[in-house]
Amino acid sequence: MKDSETNFSQSYWTNNEFANEFLQDSDIYIPERKQVLHLIKLLFSFYSNKIDQPHIIDLGCGDGVVTKALLDVNKNLLATLIDGSEHMIESARKNIPSANVKEIANISFQEIYGSSAIKDNADFIVSSLAIHHLSEIEKNHLFRYIYTKLNLGGLFINYDPVLPPSQELEQFELTMWKDWILNYEAVINPKRDKSLDYIPSQYKSNKDNIPSTLDSQLEMLRSAGFLDVNLFYKYGLFCLFGGRK
């Protein structure tokens, strides 16, 4: 493995217990999760409303939550589901009807290039909380690869934590994240035995996380050829951004 490559096999996501905890508490971990899913559905509807059976690619699909949400918009869609975690892939299989699955692959982003995991181009490509595990070089390669896998007019969007431009701003946005967790868990489960307010600090110390700045990633998308590159939503560290082909 090259020095510029991350090693998915050594990440927390290969641990089933860690993956289960993430799925169980994701509404608390992830600020404004329901709102972000709603925005992703709106973007999908806007960019694919003239396509009877759109093909989507869900990169880092997890348990299939994004694809499942998009099925509310178009029940005829065909999905290619990609994830490096075997446990997540099995969860996605249970959540997405087989009739809507075009391809499904337990493969890391680093293994996609040159593989047959993605055979056909897509009308809509989405990734959620996955690309920040890649190095700067890997992100650049992935964005360029995604561009080649989009049909003309197709949209790519990415929801991910980003690196703030200064340490002071990063500290504020980590505090903002912690505040969200404390407030939200108090609403949905006030009798919870253990608070999840440690998650922002854990995220910061976890070497699996290699966030890049928003500006650098928007520039990567433009350099890859994307048009209408845009930030669609931001809450602290968490950004929804992308562009079309």
Is residue 91 very low, low, confident or very high in pLDDT (cuts 50, 70, 90)?
very high
For residue 57 the two structure tokens come to 């690619």
For residue 21 the two structure tokens come to 């905890």
- Segment 173-184 shows an average pLDDT of 96
Question: Quick one: which of 3, 8, 27 has its CA closest to 188?
Answer: 27
Candidates 3.40.630.30, 2.40.50.140, 3.40.50.150, 3.40.50.970; correct CATH number of 8-163+211-244? 3.40.50.150
What is the distance between the alpha carbons of residues 168 and 11, in angstroms, rounded to a whole number?
28
Q: What percent of the chain has a predicted confidence (pLDDT) above 70? A: 90
Q: Kindly give, in sequence order, each residue whose CB lies less than 8 Å from that of residue 65, ignoring residues fewer than 6 positions away.
A: 26, 37, 95, 128
What is the distance between the alpha carbons of residues 64 and 99, in angstroms, rounded to a whole number?
14
**DSSP label of 193:** S
pTM recorded for the entire structure:
0.90
- Segment 61-66 shows an average pLDDT of 95
Phi-psi domain of 150 (left: phi exceeds 0; alpha: psi -120 through 50; beta: other): beta
What three-state secondary structure class fits 34? helix
CB atoms within 10 A of CB 177: 24
Pairing of strands 227-235, 238-244: antiparallel
What is the distance between the alpha carbons of residues 45 and 73, in angstroms, rounded to a whole number?
6
In tens, the pLDDT along 15-53 reads 455 455 555 788 888 999 999 999 999 999 999 999 999
> Helix, strand, coil shares of the chain as percentages rounded to 5?
45, 20, 30
In tens, the pLDDT along 120-138 reads 999 999 999 999 999 999 9
Domain range list for the chain: 8-163+211-244
